[in-house]
A and B are shown apart, each in its own frame.
Chain A
């Protein structure tokens, strides 16, 4: 059976689910953040596969945009985590339950 669009989409879906599992199951803020990256990457893979099998480049442009947004998001998110850590001395989500710093 030759590898087609479905194969890539299944990989992408499983990757997305693994990322989601990380967000739900892990309690470390940084690992949760990495799992978010996994989910973004899963979307990237699906878009690149669509782009390849439909013969449009639009999907690849989207991947490019997502990568850029992800980079910006990581920079801001990590800065937030560091700022939070300075205040509370923890990066554990169960210790970060109050609405106010």
Chain B
């Protein structure tokens, strides 16, 4: 049953991700954004299968709820109609696909040939919110604080960038 769900969500994730990147029917950025939302939601499904419930919720809350809405907001602010009519750069696409396929082959081969890690195929961890929180505020408290400063800096930067007269 779980395996079935894994294959379902993995298929959905990859299909939607493909449609983000190369949708044969539309080159509208809004379509890409909507398929990215679907990718993220199916990835949240994969997280649930990995027993990372907190991460699944955060994934939907932060990515689908905030980041993608920001994307849509910006896409709508910019007038991108003209962009859709551009030709593809054929040479670039072909070489890109070839090189990416090579990289993918290397990845997959590396994954299957590497020695199996310790707890292979016997998942031990029961993902829970409480231990995660404890870990976050004990072992990782310094990165956590630095991250909050990073967010503050990003916020100030964005406000500065959004000012009309950029100096």
Contacts and interface: CB of A to CB of B under 8 A. Distances in A.
Interface of A: 2-11, 13-22, 24-28, 30-31, 33-35, 37-38, 41, 44-45, 48-58, 60-61, 63-65, 67-76, 78-83, 85-87, 90-92, 94
A15 B17 contact: yes
Contacts of A49: 50
A55 B70 contact: no
B6 A7 contact: yes
Given A13-B108, A53-B119, A8 B46 contact: yes
Contact of A48 (B50, B74, B92): B50
Nearest to B100: A21
Given A17-B100, A53-B120, A24 B92 contact: yes
Interface in B1-42: 2-3, 6-7, 10, 13-14, 17-18, 20-22, 27, 29, 32-33, 36, 39-40
Contacts of B111: 6, 9-10, 13
Contacts of B27: 28
Contact of A16 (B47, B107, B158): B107
Contacts, number: 236
A30 B123 CA distance: 38
A27 B51 CA distance: 37
Contacts of A76: 154, 157-158, 161
B46 A91 contact: no
A52 B43 contact: no
Interface residues of B, number: 85
Interface in B103-144: 103-104, 107-108, 111-112, 116-121, 123-125, 127, 131-132, 135-136, 139-140, 143-144
Contact of B21 (A30, A35, A68): A35
Contacts of A51: 50, 52, 125
Contact of B14 (A6, A18, A91): A18
Given A11-B46, A83-B162, A74 B67 contact: yes
Given A30-B32, A44-B55, A70-B62, 12 more contacts: A13-B111, A17-B100, A28-B27, A31-B29, A34-B29, A38-B36, A41-B40, A45-B43, A61-B136, A61-B140, A68-B151, A78-B70
Interface string B45-83: 011001110110011001100110011001101101001
